[in-house]
Amino acid sequence: MTTSHQPVTRILALRHGESEWNASGRWQGQEDPPLTETGLLQAVAAAEQLGTFDAVWASTLQRAAHTAAVIAEHIGVGPVQLHPGLMEAAFGPWQGLTVAEIEAGWPGYLTEQRRPEGAEEPEAVVARAVQACNDIAMASPGGEVLVVTHAGLIRTLCHVLGHLEVRFPNLSGTWLIVHSDGRVAIGEQVQLVEPSAFRNTL
- The residues annotated as belonging to the active site are 16, 88
What Cα–Cα distance (Å) separates residue 132 from each residue in 24, 32, 137, 167, 184?
A: 30, 20, 9, 22, 11
DSSP state at residue 60: S
**81 strand-pairing partners:** 57
Query: Alpha-carbon Rg of the chain, whole angstroms?
Result: 17
Beta strands in 71-169 (DSSP E): 81-82, 144-149
User: What residue type is 96 in one-letter code?
Assistant: G
